[in-house]
Structure 1
Amino acid sequence: MLTLFWGMLFSETTFVSAGNNGVRVISSSPEETILQFDVSRFDQTQVTIDGQKWHHIYLEKEGITQDKGEPALPVFNRSIIIPNTALMRFDIYDAVFQDMQLTIAPSKGVITRDINPATVPYTFSQTYANDRFYPENIVSLSDPYIMRDFRGITVRTMPFAYNPVTGTLRVFTSYKIRVFSDGVDTINIMPGSRDSISRAFQPIYENHFVNYSQYRYTPVSDSFGKLLVICHTNYMTDILPYVNWKKQRGIETELVNFTTVGTTAAQLQTYIQNRYNTDNTITYVQLVGDAPQIPTLSSGGGGADPMFALVAGGDNYPDIFIGRFSAETSAQVTAQINKAIVYERDLNVIDTWLKNALGIASAEGGGSQGDNGESDIQHMNIIRTRLMTYGYTSVDQVYDPGASAATVTTNVNAGRGIINYVGHGSDTSWVTTGFSSANATNLTNGRKTPVIMDVACVNGNFVSITCFAEAWLRNANGGAVTMYASTINQSWNSPMRGQDEFNELLTNVSAFGGRKYTAGGLYYNAACRMMDVYGNTTGSDGVNMYRTWTIFGDASLSVRTTTPLAMNVNHPANISIGQNTVSVSTGVANTLVGITYNNTLYGKGYTDGSGNTAINLVNAPQTAITYTITATALDRITYVGSIQQVPSAGTYLNVSSVAYSDSNNNLPEYNETGRYSVTIQNIGNATASDITATISTSASGITFTDNTESIASLAAGASVTRTNAFAFGTANNIPDQLSVPMTITMVSGADNWTHNFSQVFNAPALALGSVIIQDPLGNNNGRLDPGETVTVLISLANNGGAASPAGNGYLTCSTPGITVNTGTAAFTTLSSAGGTNLSFNITASSGMSVGMVVSLQFNATAGAYTANKTENVTVGLILEDFETGNFNSYPWVFGGSLPWTVTNTGAYQGTYVAKSGTITHSQTSYMETTRILSSAGQISFWYKVSSETSYDYLRFYIDGVQQNQWSGTVGWTQATYAVTAGTRTFRWLYYKDGSVNTGDDCAWVDYIVFPASTAPNVYNPPQNLAATSSHAVVNLTWQAPASGTPTVYKVFRNSTLLTTVTGLTYQDLAVTNGTTYSYHVKAVYSGGESDASNTVNATPASNPPQNLAAVAGITVVNLTWQAATGRGEEERASRDDDRAISGYRVYRNGSSIGTTNSSTLSYSDTNVVNETTYAYHVTTLYSNPAGESAASNSVQATPTAQTALEAILGTGTTVNSTTVSSPVNIYYRYRHGQMVYTRAELIASGVFGPLNITQLGFYV
């Protein structure tokens, strides 16, 4: 056996046979498929568990079992096409294996990416005590499934088996599996067959089914997939450019208003299913709207758009592609569709940025964790090598430690075609780099928008918040064009396999020639491979990841991998009316060609291997029109041209051009007079006479002052241009980019023709931007502080296409304590894309509280155009620096094993600093506080850590989502995070793993600057409510709240208000013995009342005396007992003295023989006969209300006759002394003051008990 080392992966390669690892199809037919499996080598890494050496083994690019505590063994998963209705079985034969001694470590199970795998301990299952090979069966078949056009099944085989007792690893180096039909199945059957397949799914079939090339239909007439756009009603107009562009490309596209679908995710799922059932050409579904507008399904606690794709069979493989333009405003829809259109239509030879990529990786994983045992950095380096080999010019390595948000911003703004991320994630950031939603929103990369493949937790959690992926997509000035991001915590291993597949699809060439790459095809194909390896059954890790991995952006987007090249497109310039076939050549295979007119698709086709196609026009207009012809292909410059359709006989008038002009800048704008010059041509074969042309529009804001033009005659084939044929005026308040439909009607005799066109008009579009505080006359810290007069600057931009008039800006503020000294600022005309700063002056009263939120209302008005914005600023810093020496400045909450403390040693600044609790192994200590933000902002703080590197961490959370973590020795460092508006909870947690103490073993936090916010009203409840009960009474006690000063307390019995008190006790006398009552207490404050305290139950009862005892004498029995609990003197209310215990009743043989008062706890029964046994019990007597308790314990006693006289020595004084006198030493002891009694005398005097003298004597 030869061993080699891979320095890159720190693993050892073991060779077991000649050749290569792999799976190949020996033969495949509708009845059976035979697969050959070969293992020639495997990789191993060593780990130490409890001082012993164990090993993890891997097969490159294959899966590994993830059953916690079971041996972690590699697994082959291969999917094959099977007959539509057959029941499938398998045989294994020609198996060859080797045995070797190698200890195999267990799997840690499925670990999500919010956990560092290094912190998860190994566990060993019962399998490790069994003297047999695991697994017992190395082959299994999944349930059949349907992937749109085909029925499939997954062959799962483990070429390794392990005996833990003997430490034997069995390696199956070669074997065959025959999968054959054996009867009729009932699971996921396909009753019919197709004579064509969806072209968009062909790449998935090729990569997913190993027998696809043998099994596919011959010949195949690939069908064209349809795009279904389901849009919220608010965005039906905004989405039209996207719908029209897809039609122009040659994709049949249908727009559906969501109101016609329903209101729920279940109704949407049913609608998509029904549409697919009636029209299985549907390939893409694009949703338009955020979760509140277009609801999603749910899986694993997160949104689950991909579940809409499961429309064929009951399996988990997608049958269509689902994308989402998640938007809450029209502007957000427009931003996303514009990027998609520009990406597909406008990129050309100058876009060299497409050849650059970006890789980001955490510093975690590896060894026993990661797909193929790869760490995140190793995984990303493999992807980088693949991309560079393919032809990418550069692939950035932005890896922890040291990866920064600034690096990401710089590189993305420079242009990156592909971004791969693997690491921890949060709702609003990549933990590696700290790149946040705010950073994504502020990107300025323009048209250089990347495609992102994201392996991280909750980056796509769009249901509950505006997530990280949405920030990338909604950025109108850049960001990303599409992103694949998860709505839940992703597992560690399985998405890495999907990311590998994504990049392999991106960089490989299909055996069938050029391949049509779409975002949906890349993303979903990657997910299918992930399910092949990590499970395709419901509940498996692979399926859980697929269902929540969401396509943000256009699922039908044609993804580019390099700078596009031009195509040589040839087509006729003219065709005759009624001609239904158009021949097109592009010189490039698999070019999609679309022919449209007026946003209607009339013809489409793909070019063949030579780049040629003949396109049939369906239901073409029988009039003279000009078609738009569009050709798109992988990594090619999009071609857009025109084809004129002309009549074959008679007169036919057509407008060949319309030119706008004015006396200003010859751009159509608001509030001006414009003119159209038109060229009219006669494309028929007869002369037209007495021509009248009239222009009209249905839009408001446009008024024609000259709308007709006359032409005496126009010969066949001739044209005439009339300068300034029509004139009109535009209103002074039309919106920017208003698209106005125009119609020119031409009449000649009994014939008439129309020409339709649209004109876009420019106007100002004012927008107020960010606010800057200048306080040079104050402390010059750039903030508004109490007592300061400051200048407030706010930027004003004109984002419209036309210059604005001059105007004024205004500032108002209704916040008490703020005086607006200068509330008006004039500005001159703003050019298109121009801007200025508006300057105002305000004063903050010296009496204003630090941290108070000030609401500034801004307005800018220029003619009929306005902009408004409300900006919230804080008076002073909302600062927690712990300089009070305690946690009283903010409503802190503590948890974990021990609370944080404030210490006066080692502060970042000042004297005091917060320090984590002194915890030990497997414990935590956290502090948290909640703030309410009326607008987005940021939080910053300084931290210091001294802990075991990579095991014990300081972790920071926002709303329960980890933002970052730090371990080892970290000096004072500042951290800053963007925070969205709303109620936000910030938590700092120190975590220790199961062993090892290093350094000071703690973390410190200081100088926390909160965003503009307020603390929630905290009404803490009373603490530690307790109840005791007795006869007809329940006594309640509690402690004051942890903080705050209540005015009163409300006492509730059985959830009904009982009374209100000011103290910390209450005695409930209105109760009945034997009834159980429930109590809670609330604290009432001047601003509200708290939640309920803990609830206690009490059952009042009359309590008997305790520990009754009896001692018998001669004709006497003496009884003693302890007082009954409750209602004693110390428990009486001053107004209820007569309600305490009134006495005790003594019973002999069940009959009352006497009573005592409440202070007498004994009784002598002299009415007894010697040698007779008596039974006694005692009860407690109460008054007001009168009552008697149950019996005490019962005792028996037997008085006896007098026995022999015994001398009893009383208590006296004892003296010990020694006299030493040689030769005789005398030691003596004497007692004096002694009294001697007989037993009878003592008993007669009421003295009883043990009365024994063992010895009395004198010693010399």
Structure 2
Amino acid sequence: NLEGLPKLPLSRQIIAVPEAANVTVSMVSASRETISLATRGVNYPIMPRQAPVPKCDNPEDMPFLIERDFYNTSQWTSYPEIRVEELGHMRGMRLYALDFTPLQYNPALKQVTIIREAEVRVDFIGANHAATQELRDKYYSPAFNGVFQSTLLNPVSTRGSLNRYPMGYVIITPANFVDALQPFVDWKKKEGFNVILATTSETGSTASAIKGYLQNIWDSATPENPAPSYLMIVGDVAQVPSNTGVTSSAHITDLTYVRLQGNDYLPEMYFGRFSATTPAEVTNQVNKTLMHEMYTMPDDSYLAKSVLIAGVDSYWSTSHANGAINYATTNYFNPSHGIDSQTFLYPASGSSASQIVQRVSEGAGYVNYTAHGSETSWADPSFTISNVNNLQNTNKYPVVVGNCCVTSAFNIGICFAEAWLRAVDKGAVVYIGGTNNTYWDEDYWWAVGYKPPIPSSGSGSPFVPGRTGNYDALFHENGEPFEDWSNSVAATIFMGNMAVVQSNSTRANYYWEVYSVMGDPSLIPYLGIPTDNIADLPDTIFLGMDSMELVADPYSYVAISMNGVLHGTGLASASGELTLYYTPFEEPGMADIVITRSLVKPTIASIQVVPNEGPYVTVSPLTITDPNGNGMAEPGEIISLNLSLNNVGVMDANNLTASIATTSPWVSILEGEEQIPNIPADGNITVSNAFSIQISPRVPDQASIPFEITITDGEHTWSSTRSIITFAADLNIGDV
């Protein structure tokens, strides 16, 4: 299927191949038939294959490609009936394309030969199965299961135990964004990710240095500590550079950072970017992301609405734009899925710009536009950066997909995608789009899957198993087992791109480079108002335990952590049962439990960790009593420290004594020991003025003064570290 030569049907399957194997294919048997086209009413040559048509180009301006030397001679097409082509590695999986061309054509004879039925043999010669398994163990990620299981002809059972390790998440950021990112980092840990936060001062500030840092992480992976599944870049190109495309120097791409095995274009991690130039812009995007992922929006009714737009193009929109949107509404975005879809088809969409903006402004959970675009807008119907900045959708932030040219070209200033994410108290939580031109055929396949032919009526293709597109991956409701689900926004991009690979398009590698996520690549869209998880959790767990039993919705991902440290993760079974194994807790406190699952509300809960015998006394943060009553520790003051104590044990705590010590040079302890009243099991008390200390007159402002507080009952001893902050006037003496 070469440009200028006859466009013949091709069936492409993706297969997994062992390491070191030489792949051979042969036709064992075939049933062929030669047909005269004239007898079937076909009196013209088979159309030659044309170059993909960019959405931003006029097809009339594109040259018509034809190999006249072929069409003017009596010869048969020489396409191999069956062949293989190495695609590369993705996530430790060696992938090949298996292409079957069942038809050959002779233009002079006006005949075609068709293979009606065939038996094909594929052999892997010299396979190194040990090396194959080693790679798959090192680079296994449950987040990639859906991509492999839905697209491979020979899916490999790669589902490992999520109890053994969580997925990894790498964040690359300038140092001055770290504080603004901290709530996002804390959440990702609670959600069940091993987070690696690296500043550009650690990785290096050039694109090649950052790639080297990520390459080292990839190369250092082990079966016990597999390579991360997600990469988040934080900053605009001036803060964290991107890369010039290889398939075209006209676009920018972050794909280069995750091309970590071989020279192919298949990525090894999902990737996304918070494009920001200031900490405030980071905070805004973090807040919108956390509202979505933690499900804290004050009104969730907007999630039951979508806005789907087939834009204007007199030649392509009827078949391709309407076809994609009709596929989406027929199969997924409809009342039977609890979704009210505001759908705008061509040609009526061309006069609906103000109505579309209003629908988005009122609130929608998912917005999709397909047609022409620019760096700063959807072209027709028009939706501009100014429209984005004037939206009123506070706390109603959609996932937005732009199947159009260059709306994610984030190297031009503030592009359309960046505007959606940076808009404060409005805009979107995620924008998916291209950093360069996208193409009519390829965008259709990306959205609905490679399901030829594309109906000219715009009715949309039927669902075809094994030909999954972006919409199918979002909903995963066609009988796919759990391993086939593609949950995150980044995974759905990969499913769309794999559909383009299945089409044998010459733009397949290009699509890997240009389609990207603005926002958190691990975000899971809700697609309607999600149901509550049936999670049933214990009220308490004991110190020293390393597992607990729980029940949740089938295939729920469960994470347990405390004080920012992830202790364990697990995946509920098909029946919803889980024995969650975790690293035992060494101190009592409140453990955080987060349970997530596609199309279900997250469960965010706390479980008390308590001793299983005797008393156990903990210390709450210190408060102070000071002479001037302002509640601040200031230079030269003698202040009292107030103790709040909790007995989280199962027996009363009696005969208690508390003592205090410090290593700080800025305080002197005047009274450092106190007798404490008895505390019943599961009780608490406050002891006012327990200790007396003097603050140095020379103490600096905002000094953190640590104290070691020891509680004993003569048999047990409990130690806690607590601190106070000093407040000193910051005097600047200027010219007089």
Equivalent of residue 94 in structure 1, options 25, 30, 34: 30
- Aligned residue number for residue 591 of structure 2: 627
The structure with more strand, counted as a fraction of residues = 1
Helix, strand or coil at the partner of 2:590 = strand
- 2:252 equivalent to 1:306: no
- Aligned residue number for residue 859 of structure 1: none
Helix, strand or coil at the partner of 1:638 = strand
Equivalent of residue 533 in structure 2, options 554, 562, 567: 567
Per-residue deviation, residues 129-164 of structure 1 (Å, max 9, x unmatched): 122333543433212522213222111233343333
- Aligned residue number for residue 567 of structure 2: 602
- 2:327 equivalent to 1:382: yes
The CA distance in 1 between the partners of 2:705 and 2:431, in whole Å, is: 36
Contact 2:217 2:227 in 1 (8 A): no
- Aligned residue number for residue 199 of structure 1: 142
The CA distance in 2 between the partners of 1:424 and 1:552, in whole Å, is: 19
Q: Give, as a single letter, the amino acid of the residue that structure 2 aligns with 1:427.
A: E
- Aligned residue number for residue 364 of structure 1: 313
What pairs with 1:113-124 in structure 2 (closer than 5 Å)?
A: 113-120=55-62, 122-124=64-66
Pick closer, same or farther for the CA change 1:583–1:656 going to 2, 3 Å: farther
Equivalent of residue 642 in structure 1, options 589, 595, 606: 606
What pairs with 1:266-345 in structure 2 (closer than 5 Å)?
A: 266-279=208-221, 280-299=226-245, 300=248, 301-345=250-294
- 2:433 equivalent to 1:490: no
Q: Give, as a single letter, the amino acid of the residue that structure 1 aligns with 2:157.
A: R
Helix, strand or coil at the partner of 1:375 = helix
User: Please, what TM-score do these two structures have when normalized by structure 1?
Assistant: 0.48
Equivalent of residue 476 in structure 1, options 421, 424, 437: 424
Aligned-pair CA distance for 1:505: 1.0
Q: Give, as a single letter, the amino acid of the residue that structure 2 aligns with 1:362.
A: G
Aligned-pair CA distance for 1:479: 1.3
Per-residue deviation, residues 553-606 of structure 1 (Å, max 9, x unmatched): 1111122222122223223322222112122222x1111111111111011111
- Aligned residue number for residue 473 of structure 2: 505
The CA distance in 2 between the partners of 1:142 and 1:486, in whole Å, is: 27
Equivalent of residue 534 in structure 1, options 504, 523, 527: 504
- Aligned residue number for residue 458 of structure 1: 406
The CA distance in 1 between the partners of 2:272 and 2:724, in whole Å, is: 30
Q: Give, as a single letter, the amino acid of the residue that structure 2 aligns with 1:531.
A: V
Helix, strand or coil at the partner of 2:273 = strand
The CA distance in 2 between the partners of 1:94 and 1:349, in whole Å, is: 63
Aligned-pair CA distance for 1:179: 4.2
- Aligned residue number for residue 453 of structure 2: none
The CA distance in 1 between the partners of 2:167 and 2:360, in whole Å, is: 33
- Aligned residue number for residue 83 of structure 1: 18
- 2:652 equivalent to 1:652: no
Aligned-pair CA distance for 1:614: 1.7
Contact 1:317 1:528 in 2 (8 A): no
The CA distance in 2 between the partners of 1:712 and 1:310, in whole Å, is: 62
Aligned-pair CA distance for 1:248: 0.4
Pick closer, same or farther for the CA change 1:697–1:331 going to 2, 3 Å: farther
What pairs with 1:422-821 in structure 2 (closer than 5 Å)?
A: 422-500=370-448, 501-509=469-477, 511-513=480-482, 515=485, 517-535=487-505, 540-586=506-552, 588-618=553-583, 620-655=584-619, 678=644, 680-681=646-647, 683=649, 685=651, 687-692=653-658, 712-717=676-681, 719-722=683-686, 745=709, 747-748=711-712, 751-754=717-720
Equivalent of residue 75 in structure 2, options 132, 135, 138: 132
Pick closer, same or farther for the CA change 1:253–1:304 going to 2, 3 Å: same
- Aligned residue number for residue 70 of structure 1: 5
Over the matched positions of the two proteins, sequence identity in percent amounts to 22
The CA distance in 2 between the partners of 1:707 and 1:481, in whole Å, is: 54
Pick closer, same or farther for the CA change 1:193–1:486 going to 2, 3 Å: closer
Per-residue deviation, residues 634-676 of structure 1 (Å, max 9, x unmatched): 2222222222222344542125799999xxxxxx9xxxxxx99
Aligned-pair CA distance for 1:330: 0.7
Per-residue deviation, residues 815-855 of structure 1 (Å, max 9, x unmatched): xxxxxxxxxxxxxxxxxxxxxxxxxxxxxxxxxxxxxxxxx
Q: Give, as a single letter, the amino acid of the residue that structure 1 aligns with 2:586.
A: Q
The CA distance in 1 between the partners of 2:672 and 2:356, in whole Å, is: 59
The CA distance in 2 between the partners of 1:287 and 1:78, in whole Å, is: 33
- Aligned residue number for residue 699 of structure 2: none
Is there any run of 5+ residues in structure 2 with no aligned partner, and where? 449-468, 626-631, 633-640, 692-701, 731-736
Aligned-pair CA distance for 1:753: 3.2
Pick closer, same or farther for the CA change 1:563–1:616 going to 2, 3 Å: same
The CA distance in 2 between the partners of 1:182 and 1:206, in whole Å, is: 20
Contact 2:389 2:427 in 1 (8 A): yes
Which of the pair has more CA radius of gyration?
1
Q: Give, as a single letter, the amino acid of the residue that structure 1 aligns with 2:517.
A: I
Contact 2:53 2:439 in 1 (8 A): yes
The CA distance in 2 between the partners of 1:293 and 1:402, in whole Å, is: 39
Aligned-pair CA distance for 1:477: 0.7
Pick closer, same or farther for the CA change 1:193–1:139 going to 2, 3 Å: same
Aligned-pair CA distance for 1:695: 12
- Aligned residue number for residue 95 of structure 2: 152
Aligned-pair CA distance for 1:441: 2.7
Per-residue deviation, residues 430-464 of structure 1 (Å, max 9, x unmatched): 11222112222332322322222221111111123
Contact 2:32 2:115 in 1 (8 A): yes
Contact 2:255 2:513 in 1 (8 A): yes
- Aligned residue number for residue 809 of structure 1: none
RMSD of aligned C-alpha atoms? 4.0
Contact 1:285 1:322 in 2 (8 A): yes
Helix, strand or coil at the partner of 2:266 = coil
The CA distance in 1 between the partners of 2:653 and 2:687, in whole Å, is: 22
Aligned-pair CA distance for 1:241: 0.9
Is there any run of 5+ residues in structure 1 with no aligned partner, and where? 1-64, 662-667, 669-674, 728-737, 760-863, 865-1260
The CA distance in 1 between the partners of 2:58 and 2:74, in whole Å, is: 33
Contact 1:117 1:365 in 2 (8 A): no
The CA distance in 1 between the partners of 2:646 and 2:172, in whole Å, is: 41
- Aligned residue number for residue 11 of structure 1: none
Aligned-pair CA distance for 1:221: 3.5
The CA distance in 2 between the partners of 1:707 and 1:332, in whole Å, is: 48
Pick closer, same or farther for the CA change 1:646–1:541 going to 2, 3 Å: same
- Aligned residue number for residue 262 of structure 1: 204
Helix, strand or coil at the partner of 1:202 = helix
Helix, strand or coil at the partner of 2:395 = coil
Aligned-pair CA distance for 1:697: 14
Contact 1:89 1:180 in 2 (8 A): yes
Contact 1:364 1:375 in 2 (8 A): no
Helix, strand or coil at the partner of 1:595 = strand
Contact 1:116 1:364 in 2 (8 A): no
The CA distance in 1 between the partners of 2:671 and 2:183, in whole Å, is: 29
The CA distance in 2 between the partners of 1:693 and 1:439, in whole Å, is: 63
The CA distance in 1 between the partners of 2:418 and 2:724, in whole Å, is: 33
- 2:108 equivalent to 1:165: yes
The CA distance in 1 between the partners of 2:375 and 2:425, in whole Å, is: 22
Contact 2:86 2:96 in 1 (8 A): yes
Aligned-pair CA distance for 1:276: 0.8
User: Please, what TM-score do these two structures have when normalized by structure 2?
Assistant: 0.80
Pick closer, same or farther for the CA change 1:658–1:420 going to 2, 3 Å: farther
The structure with more helix, counted as a fraction of residues = 2
Q: Give, as a single letter, the amino acid of the residue that structure 2 aligns with 1:502.
A: N
The CA distance in 2 between the partners of 1:180 and 1:154, in whole Å, is: 12
